[in-house]
Amino acid sequence: MWPLTNEAVANRLFEEIEELEEALVERCVQLLDQAETIRDLPATTGGEAA
């Protein structure tokens, strides 16, 4: 799931930790409606595809 949340913060500068938190919360809220997208992600364990 990290690739999906990283999209919200990649290549952005956050002056305050609260800005980072807000961006991640917004992305997670968007992902709530995308259960199929999340379900289709490959499972990973220790950084390797399972």
Answer yes or no: pTM beyond 0.75. Answer: no
Assess if residue 34 is contained within a domain: yes
Instruction: Look at residue 48 and tell me if it is in a domain.
Output: no
Eight-class DSSP state of 43: P
What one-character DSSP code corresponds to residue 33? T
CA dihedral 4, 47, 10, 39 (to 10 degrees): 0
Mean per-residue pLDDT over the chain, rounded: 81
**Domain hosting residue 37, numbered range:** 2-43
Using the structure block, give the residue that is written with the tokens 């997670």: 28
Instruction: Look up tokens 């259960």; give the residue.
Output: 35
**Residue 24 near residue 8, CB atoms below 8 Å:** yes
Mean pLDDT to the nearest integer, 24-44:
84
How many domains is the chain built from?
Answer: 1
Q: Is residue 33 part of a domain?
A: yes
Q: What is the CA radius of gyration of the chain?
A: 13
